[in-house]
Structure formats: structure tokens, C-alpha cells
Amino acid sequence: MKFRERLRGKRENVKHGIWRAVCAAACAMILSACGSKEEEIPMGRYADREVKMPGAGFEYMHSCPDGSYYLFGNDVDLTHVAADGTVSSDKWDWENNANIHVKFSYGVSNGGAVIFGYTPMFYSDEEYEAYAAEGDSRYLYYYVSEEGDRHPLELYGPDYRKATNLEEFAFAPDGRVYAASASCVYRINVESGETESLFTTQSQVREFAFVGDTMLALDKDKVYLYDMAGEKPLEDNSVLNEFAASHQSGRIVLAVADQASDAADNQAAAAVDGDNSTVLYLACRTGLYRYVWDGSVIEQIADGQMIALGDSQYNPYALQILDNEQFRVYFSGNYMVEMYYDETLPARPSKELTVYSLEENGRVRYAGRLFQKEHPDVLVKYETGMDGDNAVSREDALKNLNTRILAGEVPDVIILDDIDMEQYADKGILRELDDFLAPYEEEGILYQNILEGMRMTEKNKIYGVPMTVELPLYLGEKKYVNDMQGLDGIIAGAELAREEHPEGPLIDTPFQENLFNIIIPICLPAWSKEDGSLDTESLTKFYQAAVRLWELDSEGLSEEERLKWQQNLEDEGSDLTNIMFVQYEDYYNIGETWIALGYLKNAWYGITNLHTRMENYRDDYSYYKELEDEAVYGRMTGQAGNVYRARTITGLCEQAPEPDLGEEFMELLLSDGMMQKWWLEGQFDGGIPIRKESVASILDINNHAFAEIKGWNANDISQMYKEIFWPTEEELQWLFDTMEESNCCYRTGTLLEETVREVGFRVLEGELTPEEGAKEVERKMAISMDE
Amino acid sequence: MDVAQIISVKIKKKKKKNSWLATGICFLMAFIICLPLLMIPGGAFMDPAEIRQMLSPVLGAGNGYAIWHFIPIYPTIEHFYRLLIGSPAFYKLFWNTVGMTGAILAGQLIVGLPSAWAFAAFKFRGRDFLFGLYVVLMLLPFQVMLLPQYIVLQKLDLYSNPAAVILPAVFSTFPVFIMYRGFTQIDLEVLEAARLDGAGELQIFLYVGLPLGQMGTRAAMVLSFLEYWNLVEQPMAFLEEQKDWPLSLYLPQLDISQAGFAFAVSVVVLIPALFVFALGQDALEEGITYIGTKK
Amino acid sequence: MKGKWRFRWMNRRLLFLLPGFAGVMVFYLLPFLEVVRRSFLRSGNRAFVGMDNYNAVFHNAAFVLAVRNTAVYMAVGVPLLMVISLLLAMLLRNLTTKRKFVSAMLLPMAVPAAVMVLVLRILIDRQGAVNGMLAGITEHFASLPVFEGIDYLNSGWAIVIVLCSFLWKNTGYMVILWLAGLSALPKEVEEAARVDGANKWQNWHYIIRPGLSGTTFTIGMLSVLQIFKSYREVWMVAGSYPQENIYFLQHLLQNWYLKLEFDRMAALTVLLSLVLLVVCLCLQKRLEQNGG
């Protein structure tokens, strides 16, 4: 009996306990939610300013302890910039004296001695053979002393092979020269050329630094220490190693603060660190760091996100310590900034602008960087949903985005490429942009016809603005493509071309997906009826056309040939859209396509050369100009009307935390300066600006100094040049007119397209007839509609 | 009683011999189950060109059917080289996975075992309902829990911290559910007897419950290991920085042209798993027995 | 003094459950309550809409399709998996080499999902290895019609493929659990019965089966869990809108999430968990009656 009572008592207790647990957990939750309350932001942080470079073409910087620096590069003279900014350069006629073709690696000493590696020029086959016998892309070396004595450096040594290229040099304080190959660090006697291997490394050492007698050599993920006096490797510094291993994106650059001057200039810092300690500064993408030599912590003194270091477009190449705790960083791409401590800036920007895009967009990143410079009180966060090769699929990325939106963390600006804009507009996530765009419309700044094409049918509002558009074009010989209209026109032209050229590919579609890339955009808008349902009839016609085109293309190619063709392309780099200036060594390429169909991605090269940047037509040579009157080009049309492919579609969010900043960012994107900058930077492919004046000024020959395009010949790394044919008045007018008449928007990322593609592969394989294919698409879409 | 024991000992001796029929059937089943996996080691050493050639029908080029060589004709260690030497990130992610899985398993033992014991050994009002709730929470698809869990993690300031994956996993009701089954197989009378002997609850749990319910614990650990070793969705949703990611997110998107590399990765992933099966189970068993014998 | 001790002793039992429960509360129960709350709100502006979301779920054609498919998947998959793995466990339990076999059977579980899917695609593509083998067989028999290749994922075979890969992956998993359950049965009784002349069937029917009822419950529930978890692979192989008969509840949930329809998702989840809770409690009741 007693036992049962106890049991009952226990029960009661357990019950109470559960309630207590519930209460305790709830309290914990509430407390933790309250814990994050607003606090005052302290003032002062690092900011940066860009330094104007004394010239173009530099690839290397050496910083001297006195605050001056040397710049050097392949086609330029050794240039010295003194601490007060005086520029002086040595005009040595190296090229002619030493048969230097291309310089590849450089080292400069504080006093101006130079060592570099280069590939030579050859004037006869014998010369080349003699050189190639010991490695056909090896460097030769050249040394110029402080006094100006120069001589070729014939390196030799027991552990040194001539085919080993030294990519990095450093002059140590003791006057000796150290160098690194992909797997080893050497010491070089610059007088005799004797080369001694010191230790091996896992990957190429990219950075040397010297602390007293200790040499630091940094490779991709480790810091090697070497005692130069005792001539032996030292034990690893685990703090530095860990740092290197966890900062592998981009380079890490090092600078050692000179003990004497540091102590004098900055007594406070010296007092904290103790008298004789050396301070090491490290800079990489994530920021600027400070490490007291042999200490146990590396402390961050500037956050990369807020200064130029965080810009993934550039890679830091050299770091220099200036007076007053200022720093100079030299980046890849001949770009230099000075970082200084600004006490008037809040340590953390008080506001945040979040820009989201599904995939990395160079233009947006660039604009974000510019916006950051203009607004030091704002932290610009550019976030991408998917990056790199990993398991995150588009759906996963969208799920993560939706999680944040549903949790109330809405980005300010959202790039809608590959995102189904309509859905987000329907759910009230996106803001109507009609009011925002009203002033632009009044003044007729943007192509209004293109904006109208973005209007959502149901709500009759605009939710996203494309920054650029790509126009569908055909290009080819007159007899095949003249006045080609609709899918039937394309088929007729292809049939004609096939009759005359029974062998080889026809429309440059190595893979089935290439065919869809060409013809889906010009047809997709025609598949939805007014009420939103699927027009199976036109979809059936589309599939019929696709099958016919694929047949025609396959008639001239055996299966093995196609396989080989595909393999060639994949070997060149799997991204088909990025192949440029590469001459294929064998098999089909360029120029063997009889009808070029594609999208005009870049007006920058001039539209007469338009095929150079057409996605599906990768000719290097001015095929079109060579054909002269035989060739024509025009707007490619399919089932839909005047289609344009919208790129960098930008939307603002309804419940954005910083709506004003979002608008400002949008204005920046739409500004003429930004649009032109994108094109002049030359690195951002992707269509024709939506701003009228920008298109005109980009295509104005007076704004460009180019006369030729430089490219590389894949066979023998030699450079080649080709003439630029600038568009005529007539041709320019054609482009403007074509822009003006484009009014039907094609956007990526819709479910319909995905489904049509998926089913389309089965149709092309012959598993389904075009009719069955259209039915299958209808069925799948019906499920989605039901949801 | 004595007689039965003697007989059982006798029979046990006799039963030591494995039945050939049973062994044969089991071997056959194990073989069938592993057969598709035999593609993996071969593929890991296979030249990409060879893979492409074999799989070209699947890749949408050519007629006929895909074939597979279990033994590569042109073996290469290219993929392993790329993985083990060419990509230092791999090691970081590998140790992330090890750390994460280890922390989760340890946490589940510490948190889950007592919970399971409470459900199995004590009767209290609402127990059935609470247990039912645990089961339902276990069954809820992650897709639905993603948003509310994200909100909680944000509130606790854990988002993008490895703890955002570890803590929810530690408190998962899944191991409790399995461990519970192990404990229910203990006769409650044994516990009462121990209690009457004056043993404390903790002592009973450690010296009676753990050893007698060890099969459940072991099963829970093995199954948890399998689940968390290849965890994909949680880290993808809760870890923003790639440096914190486990290895399972390292594998690129499904792409047959990368098959060789994917196979090499899975070989490297499978080896520790095998190791854990082989050693981990024994260690766990010994550990539990050790605690049991301390009494 | 004694009273105080008693109090603490009472609470000690609670301490077993408390830490775990606090965590469950924070990481599962509270989130779940949030789901319940959101099931009554509209997704975008979070206005209270009463039972609208539930109505929307019930009047949804895709929901009916998904429920039907999921029910079929479970009704076939769960019992099949349980029976196959139980048979294997019965065979394995007396083998000394059982751990090796179990490890081998568990291997598919340890393979990363992406690779699983890769293997699956190579096997079951219309031009995949399985069709290749079938074609090879039919070639040998002239009387058979020419084999055209089955497009497994785009025909009625899809559900069979999903079931097979589910069984393939999870058999080892369940064998482990059956073995754990079997090992707890007192061997002496069984041996004694055998000495008494009980045959294998009687042994199974009177001794093993009753002893396994709890384990059966556990394994049944875990099979359901594994069915839910098999979603990612199905999705990776067949996409968001697969062949009709492998369109499961999870597809619906995920597609809703991608469409930002969290309100409906929440309503569906609440319904689902109610069903599961009732099923679970009923089973437990029956289990207790059996046991009692």
C-alpha cells in the first residue's frame, strides 16, 4: 500500500515537474529573446581611398620600408613611387637587349635591384628547339643590380631543374634572394646563378616576409618558417598556420612592422606589445589582421566587408605599412587603395542594405562596391543563394530565401534572374515599381517598351526592371536566312543549308539543350493563353519544330562525331557560353555553322562584329565582314512576337527594412555612369542597356580608343590581333530600332520552361511524339496549378 | 531451473555452428544489396573518358544502353588526387563532418538516454500522450520545421553556428524513441527489487538500465550515425558559411560527367563509416558493459 | 531532514526527463506550435483567416493525389520492409557472423544521397543498365518480342522503382532494430520450449511474436519515418513534378514552400500530425493491452 502511495506521489511530482520544465524553457526563450537589445555603436573604423596608379599594365608591387614602392609588369618600365608621390621610372630597353617576350615573375629589392623570369623571343627554329629541349615553357631569368648592371641569370644547382619555373622572388634584408617554385623554396646567388633548394612546400609559395633572421613563406594553406642564419627550417607556428588554412579564398599578404620606427611612431602600441616585439600585419579577403610575433592570437583590425579587401573581384598582391597606422594594399588588376583609420565613422555602419541574387552577378557586385564607397555609413551586403560547385541546388537556395522571407527578414533589393517573379509579386513580397519608374517614363530615359513587357498581366503593375536585354538574332548567308520569320522560317533556312552542305553541323547545337536555349526564349511567351492556361497547340508546333531542327542538325553528324564534338567542348570548359578567342585544335567549330542563331549579348564590340559575342556562334574571325554582301542578319523570331531576354531583373521588396536605400541602389544601377562602367570594364557580358543614352554612347566610336581586339591563339600562346569593324550609321539605327520594337519579355526561371525542357529531351529522343509531349507538359503543369 | 540452464548451455554449444542455409540466404541478400554499390569503387578509379563512353546513352547521346565496367580498363587515381591533394577544403569539411557527428552522438547519449529511461521506467500521468507527441515530432518532415526552427535559432543567436545543426539534432526525439524500446524490455520487477534494496534512481539507471537496455542504445547510435554522417538539409539551411559545412554538401550537383569524382568522394566517405561499424559498436558495447560491471 | 531528502529524491526522477524535454521544447515543440499558429494565418500579411487554410488544403486536387500516392507508398512499403527485414533478422540472429552481414546491408544508408541517385540513374534510365540487361536477355530468345526499353521514371513503373530503392536502402536499418528486439527475448524460454518439442512455427507463434510486439510498433513508426525521409532522393531523381504516381505529400509540401504558401503547408502539417498522433496513441493502447 505504502508503495502505491509513493508511486502516486511521484506521479504528482512528475506532473508538476513537467509544468516546471515548460515554464523554465519558456522563460529561457523569453530571456534570450530580450537579451538582444539595442546598444550604442562605438565610433571609429578603417576606411579606404583608391590610389591613382601612375600608369597601366602593372602586375607587381614591392613596398619599401620608407613608404615608397616599386611597380613592375610585363610591358612596362620599373616605376618607383616615392613616399611623397614623386614618380620616376627606369626606361631600360630590355625587350630588345634580352630577347624578352613575356615577363612572368618579378622581384624587386628596396634599393631597386630587379630579378625576373621571362619567356624568350625566337628568331629561328633552332633557337626554339635549343630552348624547348629543356622544357618548352620554362622561364629564363634576368638580373639587374641596384647599380644598373644587368645580366641574364643562368640558374644551376644540385636540386634545381631548368624546367622548374620560379614564380615568386624576394630580396631578404640580408641581401640574399629567395625564390619559390610550385613545390620548393630556393636561395639564389644573383652573381653566379647558383641555386640551392631550402625546403619543399605543398603548393606554390605566394608571399615572403622576413622577421629578423626568420623567413616566412606562405603557400595556399600553410606558413613555412625558415631560420636564415642557422639555415634550417623552424618549427611551425600553429597560429599562423591555422589562419592560413582558414583563409583560403584569395591570397593572404603580409607586412612586417619595422620595430624601430614602429616604436617611435606609435608609442602606445609599442607599450602594449612590450618593447621588442615585432608586429605582423596580414591582409586577405576577410579583412586586415594584426599579429604580435609569436603571440597566440591574430586580431582583426578591419573587417573586409567594409573595405576594399572584401571585394572578391580583386585579389590582394601586396601590403605596405605606412605611418600613422595607415596601410596600402596593391591588388590584382592594377588597383591600389590606402586604408586609414577614420574616427568619424561608426565602428559598424548603422544601416544595412541587403541585395540578394540567386547566382553571382558581377554587375550587381560591382554596383554594390560602388554604393558602399558612396555610403560609408551603410554596410552593403550582397548575398548569393548558390555559389560554386556544391550540393546546393536552385530549389534549396530558393527554400533558404523563402525561409528568410517568411521569417520576416526581407532583403532590400532582389535580383530576379532565374526566380519566378510572378510568384513573389503575387505573394506581396515585391513592391510595385510604377511610381518609382514614373520620372523615368516622363523623361523617356529608359526603353519604355521593354518596361511595358515586364508588366504582370494580372495586376497590371511592374515589379522588376531588367538592367539589360539580349536580342535574338540570326546571322548567315543571304540565301539561307534572308528575312527569316518564325520557326518555319528557321526550318526552311536550315533545310536549304542542309541540302547544300550535307556534312557537318548546321546550327551549332552540340547538345540538345543548346537547341532549347536558342528556340525556347522566342517561343515561351506564346504558350500561355490569356487565362493563364497552356496553349497545347502551339507547344505541339514548337516540339515539332524542335524535332525537325534536331533531325536536320543530326543528319550531317554521326553519333560518334557528335560525341567527340561534345567532349571537345567540355574539355575546353564546360560553360558553353564562355568560349571566346579559343581556336579549337580539331573538329567542328566555328565557321562551320551555316545559320547562326543566338542572342546579342554585347554591343561593345560593335554590331558588325556582333557574332563574336553571340552565345551560339563563336567565331573569332570576322566571318560576316568577309562574306560582305552575302551575309545578312536580323531579329530572330519564333512563335512569340518581338522577344527580348531580360537580364539582371531588379526588384525592390515590399517590407524592406531600408526602402530608401533600396531605391537609391536601383537608381545607381539605372544611372548612365553605371551602365557605361559595366561596358567599359568589359568584364560583364550580358546584353544591351535599358537606358537609351547609354546604348548610344557605348556605340559611339569616339568614346573608344580601340582599333583591334587582342586574343590568344590556343596553339602556341602567341597573341593575335583582329581588326574591329565599327558599325555604320545604318547598322546602329537598326539596333536602336530593334530595341524600340522589343516588347515581349522572356524571363528565365519559370516552371513552364523547366517542364518544357525536361519533356523536350524525351521528345527529341523520340520517346514521345510532339503531341504527347505537349500533353505531358499540360499534365505536369496542371498539378502545379492545382497546388 | 537448473536443469533448464544446463540444457540451454548444452544447446548453445550445439548451436554454435552456423546454419549453411541461413548463411547462404543472408549472403545472397547482402550481395544483392551491395551489388549496385560495387559500381562505386570501380568508378572512383575510372578515367572520365571511359565513364563517358560507357554512359553516353544515359547522357542523351547515342542509342543502345549504358554499361558499366566493375573493373576499370584504364585505371587512374586522378579523382583521388584531385580530392585528397588538389582540394584542401576537403579536409576541413571532412573534419567538420567528424566533429559534427561526434558531438551529435555524444549529446544524444547524454540527453537521450535519461529521457528514454524516464519514459520506460517511470509511469506518470500524461506519459503516453507525451510519448506520442515525441513520436509525432520525430515524424514531422523537416521542410515544415525549417521555418520555425530557423526563427528559434535566430532568436537564440545560433544561426550559422555549428550549434544550429548540433543542438536540434542532440534533442531529436528519434534516439529517445529507439533507446526507449531497449529499456522497455527490462522487467520492471527487477527495478522495483533494486529500489527496495535501497539503490538510488541514478544507480539503477546506470547499473541496471544501461546494461540491460544496451541493444536499444547501440541501435540508436548506429542509426543516428548513419543519419548525421550524410546530413544534407539542416546544414544547408542553417549554416551560411561554407567553412562550417559538412562533407555531404561538398558533392557537386548531380552530374554524370562528374561521376568518377563523386564516386571517389563516396569511397572516402564510406571508409570511416565502415570503420565506425566495425569498431564503434564494440566500443559502445564494452563501455556499457563496463558501467554495468562497476556495480 | 528526511522530508527534504524525500523531496529531492522525488525530483531526481524528473531530472532524467527534464534536460531532454527542455531541448525538445525549444527546438521542436515551440517550432511546432508556431506551425500550428501559422496554420490559421495568411502567409503574406499574417492576417487571421480562421479555417481557410484547412479548407484550401481539402479542396486541393493536388492534395488528394498526394495523399493517395503517399498512402499507397506506405501501405505497400511499410509492411513489405518490415516483413523482409524481420525474415532476414530471424535468419541472422543465430549466426556468429551477423554483424558483418548487417554492416554490409547498412552500406546503402552510408552512401551520400547524391551518389545514390547517380547510381540509380545509371541503372534505371531508359537507356540505363537495367534495360540493357533486359534487352540482352530478350535477344537470346527469338520468340520474345523486341525489347524497347522501359522509361521507368515516366511510366507506371515509377512507384515500383521508388519502392525498390526504399527497400534497398532501408532493409539493413530495420534488420538492426529487429535484431535488437530479438536479442532481448529470453533465450532460455525458447530453448526450453524446443526441448519440450515445440516446432519452429509454434516457437515463433507463441514465444517470439508476442515478445516482439513493442519492437513491431517501433519499427513500424520508423518505417514511416524513413518513408518521409526518402523524399530527397525521389526528388533528386524525378524532380519537383514527377510522374503522377510518385507525387507524394512531400512534393506538395516542398512546392508549396517554394511558392511561399506556408499557410497551407502549416495546415497540412497540423492535419498530418493529428493523424499520426491518433494512430500512434491507438497503437500504443493496443500494445499495452497486449502486454498487460
For the cut 60, the answer to whether the pLDDT of residue A271 exceeds it is no
Q: What pLDDT is recorded for position A603? A: 54
Of the candidates A120, A124, A197, which has an alpha carbon nearest to the alpha carbon of residue A155? A197
For the cut 90, the answer to whether the pLDDT of residue A431 exceeds it is yes
Of the candidates A344, C115, C84, A332, which has an alpha carbon nearest to the alpha carbon of residue B39? C115
> Residue A614: which pLDDT band, with cuts at 50, 70 and 90?
very low
Q: Which of A165-179, A249-263, A372-386 has the lowest mean pLDDT?
A: A249-263
Q: Are A404 and B154 in contact (CB under 8 A)?
A: no
For the cut 90, the answer to whether the pLDDT of residue C5 exceeds it is no
Residues of C in contact with B246 (CB under 8 A): none
Q: How far apart are CA C221 and CA B293, in angstroms?
A: 34
According to DSSP, the β-strands at A351-359 and A413-415 are parallel
Q: What pLDDT is recorded for position A24? A: 54
Residues of A in contact with B157 (CB under 8 A): 32, 35-36
Q: Does C254 touch chain B if contact means CB atoms closer than 8 Å?
A: yes
State the nearest Cα–Cα gap between B127 and chain C, in angstroms: 11
Q: What pLDDT is recorded for position B138? A: 92
Q: Does B133 touch chain A if contact means CB atoms closer than 8 Å?
A: no
H-type helices in chain C, by residue range? 2-24, 30-38, 52-58, 61-92, 98-110, 113-124, 129-140, 157-183, 187-195, 200-202, 209-211, 213-229, 231-238, 249-258, 262-291
Residue with cell 640580408: A174
For the cut 50, the answer to whether the pLDDT of residue B186 exceeds it is yes
Q: How many domains does chain A have?
A: 1
According to DSSP, the β-strands at A595-600 and A351-359 are unpaired
Q: Which of A405-419, A443-457, B244-258 has the lowest mean pLDDT?
A: B244-258
For the cut 70, the answer to whether the pLDDT of residue C223 exceeds it is yes
For the cut 80, the answer to whether the pLDDT of residue B30 exceeds it is yes
pLDDT tens figures, C74-90 = 999 999 999 999 999 98
CB contact under 8 A, C10 and A10: yes
Q: What pLDDT is recorded for position A39? A: 55
Show the 3-state SS of B196-216. Answer: HCCCCHHHHHHHHHHHHCHHH
Q: Are A614 and A641 in contact (CB under 8 A)?
A: no
pLDDT tens figures, C6-26 = 444 455 677 788 889 999 999
Q: Is residue A601 part of a domain?
A: no
CB contact under 8 A, A13 and C26: no
Q: What pLDDT is recorded for position B295? A: 43
Of the candidates A646, A736, A61, which has an alpha carbon nearest to the alpha carbon of residue A334? A61
pLDDT tens figures, B195-221 = 888 878 888 888 888 888 888 888 888
Mean pLDDT computed over C132-159: 80
pLDDT tens figures, A501-551 = 787 777 777 788 888 988 999 999 999 887 778 899 999 999 999 999 999
What residue in A sits closest to C263 (Cα-Cα)? Answer: A406
- Please report how the helices B259-275 and B214-229 are oriented relative to each other, as an axis angle in degrees rounded to 10: 160
Mean pLDDT computed over C139-149: 74
CB contact under 8 A, A14 and C13: yes
Q: What is the mean pLDDT of chain A?
A: 79
Per-position DSSP letters for C187-233, written without gaps between them: HHHHHHHHHTT--HHHIIIIIIHHHTHHHHHHHHHHHHHHHHHTHHH
Q: How far apart are CA A79 and CA A76, in angstroms?
A: 8
Cell reading at B2:
537448473
Of the candidates A199, A124, A122, A193, which has an alpha carbon nearest to the alpha carbon of residue A162? A193
Q: What pLDDT is recorded for position A36? A: 43
Mean pLDDT computed over C255-265: 91
Residue with cell 551518389: C115
CATH of domain C78-239: 1.10.3720.10
Q: What pLDDT is recorded for position B21? A: 84
CATH of the domain at A101: 2.130.10.10
Q: What pLDDT is recorded for position A574? A: 41
State the nearest Cα–Cα gap between B57 and chain C, in angstroms: 6
Q: How far apart are CA B293 and CA C96, in angstroms?
A: 24
Q: Is residue A682 part of a domain?
A: no
For the cut 80, the answer to whether the pLDDT of residue A21 exceeds it is no
| Residues in a beta bridge with A195 | A188
Residue-number span of the structural domain to which A220 is assigned:
92-232
What residue in C sits closest to A404 (Cα-Cα)? Answer: C260
Q: How far apart are CA A203 and CA B116, in angstroms?
A: 51
State the nearest Cα–Cα gap between C281 and chain B, in angstroms: 6
Q: Is residue A599 part of a domain?
A: no
- Whole-number percent of chain B with pLDDT over 70: 84
Q: What is the mean pLDDT of chain C?
A: 85
State the nearest Cα–Cα gap between B158 and chain A, in angstroms: 11
B221 three-class SS: helix
Mean pLDDT computed over A92-109: 74
Look up the ipTM and state it: 0.89
What residue in B sits closest to C116 (Cα-Cα)? Answer: B37
Between residues C106 and C13, the one the model is more confident about: C106
Between residues A205 and A634, the one the model is more confident about: A205
pLDDT tens figures, B64-98 = 788 888 888 888 888 888 788 767 678 888 889 99
Residues of A near C (Cβ–Cβ under 8 Å) read 9-10, 13-14, 17-18, 21-22, 24-26, 28-29, 391, 395, 398-399, 402, 405-406, 423-424, 427-429, 751, 755, 758, 762, 765, 767, 779-780, 783-784, 786-787
Q: Does C36 touch chain B if contact means CB atoms closer than 8 Å?
A: no
Of the candidates A514, A732, A727, which has an alpha carbon nearest to the alpha carbon of residue A612? A727
CB contact under 8 A, B250 and A14: no
**CATH superfamily of domain region B82-293:** MetI-like (1.10.3720.10)
According to DSSP, the β-strands at A351-359 and A378-386 are parallel
Which sequence spans correspond to the domains of chain C? 78-239
pLDDT tens figures, A49-79 = 888 888 888 889 998 888 899 998 887 888 8
Which sequence spans correspond to the domains of chain B? 1-76, 82-293
- Please report how the helices C249-258 and C61-92 are oriented relative to each other, as an axis angle in degrees rounded to 10: 130
Q: How far apart are CA A696 and CA A534, in angstroms?
A: 39
Q: Does C233 touch chain A if contact means CB atoms closer than 8 Å?
A: no
Picking from C98, C106, C123 by the largest number of B CB atoms within 10 A of its own CB, the best residue to mutate is C106
| Residues in a beta bridge with A689 | A468
Of the candidates A647, A646, A643, A598, which has an alpha carbon nearest to the alpha carbon of residue A742? A643
Read off the DSSP letter of residue A653: B
